[in-house]
C-alpha cells in the first residue's frame, strides 16, 4: 500500500487563519507564476473569505459522467454508451502503485501539507523567477481535483470549460478556498480516490479504471509498477505523453515518475532502475462507445432506448434535465430485448434481404399482453458508411424513424374489428366486383366525406369477383369488399378502433378520415403495426410498447421506469373472430408462405399501389411481429427487382415479407410453448349458396339480398349501391 505521509489535520479555525495569512502571498505568487499583474488582489482575497463556510456538495461527491451499460432481457451486454469513458472505482480497486505514482509526480508532499503547499509555492516562485518564465507550477493535488470538478461540470460546453480553466486571480483564489474546505471534509484518501476517478488520461479515458482498460486491457487494481508510472506520467500532458503516438516521450516521462517514486522511498532504487529498463508493452482496447458497437443488429434498438429515456418525464421534468442525466451516465439499463428473438430477426433479414439491395426491410416483434419489444432489426446496418443508416426503419419519426410506410391491406383487420364491434356479422356479404367507385357520401366523425367520379378502387386480380363474406374477402384481400364495409359502417368507428389499438401515423399527424384508409393509404411503422396486431393475440387488450425493464444508477439504486399501459380495445369475441379471419389468411389465403409449421398463427399480407411497400403482419398467442419491405425514400417501385439474390417480377406481401416473418418467428419461438389461438366458427356464405334448393328473396334498395338461388335456381334481388350501374342492383340467375 502507498505510504501515508500524513502531516496531521488542521482545525477549522487554524485552516481559516492559515488561509487569511497566505491568501495575499498565494495570490502574489500566482500572479508571478502565470498571471499578469494583479492590482485587484486585495479585493479578490477579501471576496474569497466571504462565504468561507459554504462549499457546494458536488465538490465532495461530484456526479461524474460514466459509462452506461445497456443490457438485453437476460443481462447480456448490448452496448456501452457514454459522453466520457469512465468507471468509478474505490481505492481498494486501484493498484497501490498507481496511488504512489500519482502522488509522487503530481504532489510529492500531498500527505504532509494542507490544501496549500507554501513550500511548493515559494519553490515554484523562485524557480520561475530564475527562468524568467513559468517552468514550474504550485497547485496541490487537492487544488487540481477542485479544478477538475469545475471542468467536469462544464461538460462539452467550450465557454464553460474556458471559464473553469481561465488563469485569473479570482478563479485561483476560489480554487484555494474550496481546496481548504475539501481537505477538512474529505481527508487525503478520499481526495486521492476522487482525483484518480476524475482526471483525464488521454485517449478518451477518464479515470484510472478506464485508462487501465484502454492502454493495458486490465483493471486498475492489476496495474504493475511500470504501467502505473506510465499512466501517472500522462496526466500532466495527455497529448505530449501519449504512449500510442509518442512512445519515446512517454517512456522518458514514465522513467521520471519511477525515479521520483524512488526518491520518496515508495520503491527502491533497484526497483526503479529495473522498471525503467523495460520497454512499454501496451495491450490497447479501442473505445467501444455507442450503439454502433451493438451486435446482432441491435444498434437501432439501442438508439431507441436513448430516445425513450430522453422523451419520458419519468427520467426528468424537462428534456434538458433528461439529457444531462443521460450524459452523466453510470446507469445499467436492463431492456426487454430477447436475445433469441433478436438473433432470429437479424438472421432472417440477412437471409432474405442484402444490405446493398435497392430496397430495405425492417422487422419488429412484441409480446402480446405486456407490450415488451422482443426484437427489432433491419437490413441497412447502423452506421454512417455506404448502405448504412442511423434512421430506425421500425419506429415513428419522433423516435428516430422515417416518415413511415403505407401498410396496404394489413390495415384491413382494423376495419373488420371496428365493424364487428358495431354489430356487423362476419358473414356479411358484398358483391365485390373487380372495380368500383367509392360509395358517397360516407359518414365521418364530424361530418361526411363526398367522393368524385375519379375516386375508384379495384382488386389485385380480375378473378376476385364476389359476392364474398368477410372470411373469404379477408383471405383473398378483396379491396372492393372492404371499401363497401367501411362505407356502410362509417369512417369514425374505424378511426376510433385504430386509436384504441395504438395505430397512428408515423409522422404524428392525425388519421385522415377518408374511405381509402381501409386500404392502408396512410404511413405507419412496423412497431406500430406489431403492437396493434398484438391486440388480437391478447384477447382485445392493447398494451403500449415498452423497451426498458429496469434501471440502476451508479450507486446501484433502482430508478423509476415507465410501465406499459394496457386497455381494452375490443371485446374478446371480436378479437377471437379476427383470429379466425386471419388464420384463414395463412392457411388458405394470400399469406400461406408465412404459415408456421406446427404452431397456430394468424396474419395479413399488404401490398401498396405501385409496389412501393410490401408487408406481412402476424402473430401467435405469445408474439406479434411486423415486417416491411420497400424503399425508405419511397422512390423505387418493386417491379423487375432482385432482393436477396431472388428476382421478382412483382413483389407481394406474401413472397418476401411473409417468408421473413415466418423464419424470424420460427427462430424466436423455438423451444417455447405453442398455445392455440382462440377462434369462433364463421359460416362461409359461398359454400351455403351451393346447398339450397330454392332461391331466396332479394333485398331492397341499398340492402344486400340475403337469399340466393340453389343449383340452377334463380337468385333473389341483389345490391343497389349508389353510383353503380343499375344492372348491379338486382337481377337473378342461379349459383
Q: Which residues fall within 8 angstroms of residue 131, CB to CB, at 6 or more apart?
A: none
Cross-strand bridge partners of residue 456: 437
Grid cell, residue 55, equals: 462549499
Residue 105 CA neighbour count, 13 Å, CB half? 22
Alpha carbon 206 to its chain centroid, in Å, reads 25
What's the pTM?
Answer: 0.80
What homologous superfamily does CATH list for 12-276?
A: Biosynthetic peptidoglycan transglycosylase-like (1.10.3810.10)
470: helix, strand or coil: helix
Grid cell, residue 722, equals: 349508389
| CA-wise closest residue to 376 among 292, 290, 291, 300 | 300
Grid cell, residue 710, equals: 340453389
Q: How many helices (H) and strands (E) does the chain have?
A: 23, 18
| CA-wise closest residue to 254 among 232, 282, 230 | 230
Q: In this predicted structure, what is the pLDDT of residue 734?
A: 30
- Are 78 and 176 within 8 A, CB to CB? no
Residue with cell 395479413: 604
Q: Which helix (H) or strand (E) holds 443?
A: strand 442-444
Taking the C-alpha atoms of residue 333 and residue 349, their distance in angstroms, rounded to an integer, is 27
Q: Which helix (H) or strand (E) holds 568?
A: strand 566-568
Taking the C-alpha atoms of residue 277 and residue 456, their distance in angstroms, rounded to an integer, is 87
Taking the C-alpha atoms of residue 441 and residue 494, their distance in angstroms, rounded to an integer, is 16
Q: Which residues fall within 8 angstroms of residue 376, CB to CB, at 6 or more apart?
A: 298, 300, 301, 304, 337, 342, 345, 363, 364, 365, 392, 394, 395, 527
Longest dimension (CA), the chain: 122
Q: Which residues fall within 8 angstroms of residue 47, CB to CB, at 6 or more apart?
A: 170, 173
**Burial class of residue 499 (count of CB atoms within 10 Å of its CB; 0-12, 13-18, 19+):** middle
Taking the C-alpha atoms of residue 478 and residue 435, their distance in angstroms, rounded to an integer, is 11
Query: 12-34 and 169-186 helices cross at what angle (nearest 10)?
Result: 150
Please state, as a whole number, how many other Cβ atoms lie within 10 Å of the Cβ of residue 186.
Answer: 18
pLDDT in tens, 387-396: 999 999 999 9
Q: DSSP letters along 404-438, please?
A: -B--GGGGHHHHHHHHHHTT--TT--B---SEEEP
Class of domain 290-683: alpha beta
Q: Is the dihedral of CA 110, 112, 115, 118 positive or negative?
A: negative
Question: Prior bond to 467 cis, omega within 30?
Answer: yes
570: helix, strand or coil: coil
Grid cell, residue 681, equals: 366458427
Strands 68-71 and 332-335: parallel
Q: In this predicted structure, what is the pLDDT of residue 472?
A: 95
Taking the C-alpha atoms of residue 349 and residue 670, their distance in angstroms, rounded to an integer, is 17
Q: DSSP letters along 315-341, please?
A: G-SSHHHHHHHHHH---EEEE---HHH
* CA angle centred on 586, ends 584 and 589, rounded to 5°: 65
Grid cell, residue 555, equals: 450507486
Alpha carbon 19 to its chain centroid, in Å, reads 51
Cross-strand bridge partners of residue 624: 366, 619
Q: How far is CA 498 from CA 5, 57, 470, 519, 685, in A?
A: 72, 51, 19, 13, 28
Taking the C-alpha atoms of residue 271 and residue 254, their distance in angstroms, rounded to an integer, is 13
Phi then psi dihedrals of residue 468, to 5 deg: -130, 150
560: helix, strand or coil: coil
80: helix, strand or coil: strand
Residue 98 CA neighbour count, 13 Å, CB half? 31
Taking the C-alpha atoms of residue 27 and residue 170, their distance in angstroms, rounded to an integer, is 9
693: helix, strand or coil: coil
- Are 657 and 361 within 8 A, CB to CB? yes
- Are 369 and 292 within 8 A, CB to CB? no
Regions in the chain scoring below 70 on pLDDT: 1-58, 60, 115, 117-138, 684-735
Q: In this predicted structure, what is the pLDDT of residue 38?
A: 34
pLDDT in tens, 122-136: 665 555 555 554 434
What are the extents of the domains in the chain?
12-276, 290-683, 689-735
- Rg of the chain's alpha carbons, rounded to an integer? 36
Q: Which helix (H) or strand (E) holds 48?
A: helix 41-49
- Are 473 and 432 within 8 A, CB to CB? yes
Are the folds of 12-276 and 290-683 the same? no
- Are 330 and 67 within 8 A, CB to CB? yes
Amino acid at each position: 500500500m502507498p505510504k501515508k505521509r500524513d502531516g496531521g489535520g488542521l482545525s477549522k479555525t487554524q485552516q481559516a487563519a492559515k488561509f487569511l495569512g497566505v491568501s495575499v502571498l498565494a495570490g502574489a505568487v500566482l500572479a508571478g507564476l502565470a498571471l499578469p499583474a494583479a492590482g485587484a488582489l486585495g479585493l479578490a482575497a477579501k471576496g474569497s473569505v466571504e462565504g468561507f463556510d459554504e462549499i457546494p456538495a458536488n465538490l465532495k461527491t461530484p456526479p461524474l459522467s460514466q459509462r452506461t451499460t445497456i443490457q438485453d432481457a437476460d443481462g447480456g451486454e448490448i452496448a456501452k454508451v457514454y459522453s466520457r469513458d469512465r468507471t468509478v472505482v474505490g481505492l481498494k480497486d486501484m493498484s497501490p502503485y498507481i496511488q504512489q505514482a500519482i502522488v509522487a509526480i503530481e504532489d510529492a508532499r500531498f500527505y504532509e501539507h494542507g490544501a496549500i503547499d507554501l513550500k511548493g509555492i515559494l519553490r515554484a516562485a523562485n524557480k520561475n523567477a530564475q527562468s524568467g518564465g513559468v517552468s514550474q507550477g504550485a497547485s496541490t493535488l487537492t487544488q487540481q481535483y477542485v479544478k477538475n470538478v469545475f471542468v467536469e461540470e462544464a461538460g462539452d460546453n467550450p465557454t464553460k470549460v474556458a471559464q473553469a480553466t481561465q488563469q485569473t486571480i479570482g478563479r485561483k483564489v476560489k480554487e484555494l478556498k474550496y481546496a481548504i474546505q475539501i481537505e477538512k471534509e474529505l481527508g487525503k484518501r478520499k481526495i486521492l480516490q476522487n482525483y484518480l476517478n476524475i482526471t483525464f488520461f488521454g485517449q478518451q479515458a477518464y479515470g484510472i479504471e478506464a485508462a487501465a482498460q484502454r492502454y493495458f486491457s486490465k483493471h486498475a487494481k492489476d496495474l504493475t509498477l511500470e504501467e502505473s508510472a506510465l499512466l501517472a506520467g500522462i496526466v500532466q500532458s495527455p497529448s505530449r505523453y501519449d504512449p500510442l503516438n509518442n512512445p519515446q516521450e512517454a517512456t522518458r516521462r514514465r522513467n521520471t515518475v519511477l525515479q521520483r517514486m524512488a526518491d520518496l522511498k515508495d520503491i527502491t532504487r533497484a526497483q526503479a532502475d529495473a522498471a525503467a529498463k523495460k520497454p512499454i508493452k501496451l495491450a490497447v482496447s479501442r473505445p467501444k462507445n455507442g450503439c454502433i458497437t451493438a451486435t446482432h443488429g441491435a444498434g437501432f434498438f439501442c438508439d431507441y432506448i436513448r430516445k425513450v429515456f430522453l422523451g419520458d418525464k419519468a427520467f426528468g421534468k424537462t428534456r434538458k434535465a433528461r439529457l444531462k442525466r443521460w450524459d452523466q451516465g453510470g446507469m445499467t439499463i436492463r431492456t426487454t430485448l430477447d436475445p433469441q428473438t433478436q438473433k432470429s430477426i437479424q438472421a432472417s433479414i440477412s437471409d432474405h434481404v442484402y444490405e446493398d439491395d435497392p430496397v430495405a426491410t425492417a422487422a419488429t416483434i412484441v409480446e402480446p399482453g405486456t407490450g415488451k419489444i422482443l426484437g427489432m432489426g433491419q437490413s441497412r446496418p447502423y452506421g454512417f458508411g455506404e448502405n448504412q443508416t442511423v434512421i430506425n426503419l421500425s419506429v415513428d419519426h419522433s423516435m428516430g424513424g422515417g416518415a413511415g410506410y403505407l401498410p396496404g391491406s394489413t390495415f384491413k383487420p382494423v376495419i373488420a374489428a371496428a365493424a364487428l364491434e358495431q354489430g356487423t356479422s362476419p358473414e356479411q356479404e358484398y358483391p365485390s366486383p373487380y372495380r368500383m367507385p367509392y360509395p358517397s357520401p360516407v359518414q365521418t366523425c364530424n361530418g361526411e366525406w363526398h367522393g368524385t367520379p375519379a375516386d375508384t378502387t379495384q382488386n389485385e386480380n380480375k378473378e376476385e369477383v364476389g359476392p364474398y363474406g368477410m372470411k373469404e374477402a379477408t383471405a383473398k384481400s378483396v379491396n372492393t369488399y372492404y371499401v363497401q364495409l367501411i362505407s356502410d359502417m362509417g369512417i369514425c368507428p374505424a378511426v376510433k378502433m385504430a386509436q384504441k389499438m395504438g395505430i397512428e401515423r408515423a409522422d404524428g399527424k392525425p388519421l385522415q378520415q377518408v374511405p381509402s384508409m381501409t386500404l392502408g393509404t396512410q404511413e405507419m411503422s412496423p412497431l406500430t403495426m406489431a403492437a396493434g396486431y398484438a391486440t388480437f393475440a391478447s384477447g382485445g387488450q392493447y398494451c403500449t410498447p415498452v423497451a426498458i425493464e429496469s434501471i440502476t444508477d451508479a450507486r446501484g439504486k433502482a430508478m423509476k421506469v415507465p410501465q406499459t399501459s394496457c386497455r381494452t380495445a375490443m371485446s374478446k369475441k371480436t378479437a377471437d373472430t379476427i383470429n379466425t379471419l386471419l388464420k384463414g389468411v395463412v392457411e388458405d389465403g394470400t399469406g400461406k408462405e408465412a404459415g408456421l409449421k406446427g404452431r397456430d398463427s394468424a396474419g395479413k399480407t399488404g401490398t401498396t399501389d405501385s409496389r412501393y411497400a410490401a408487408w406481412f403482419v402476424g402473430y401467435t398467442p405469445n408474439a406479434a411481429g411486423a415486417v416491411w419491405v420497400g424503399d425508405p425514400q419511397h422512390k423505387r417501385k418493386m417491379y423487375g427487382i432482385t432482393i436477396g439474390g431472388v428476382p421478382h417480377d412483382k413483389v407481394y406481401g406474401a413472397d418476401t415479407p411473409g417468408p421473413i416473418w415466418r423464419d424470424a418467428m420460427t427462430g424466436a419461438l423455438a423451444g417455447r410453448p405453442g398455445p392455440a389461438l382462440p377462434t369462433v366458427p364463421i359460416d362461409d356464405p359461398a359454400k351455403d349458396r351451393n346447398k339450397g334448393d330454392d332461391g331466396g328473396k332479394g333485398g331492397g334498395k341499398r340492402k344486400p339480398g340475403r337469399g340466393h338461388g340453389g343449383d340452377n335456381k334463380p337468385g333473389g334481388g341483389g345490391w343497389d349501391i349508389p353510383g353503380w350501374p343499375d344492372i348491379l342492383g338486382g337481377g337473378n340467375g342461379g349459383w
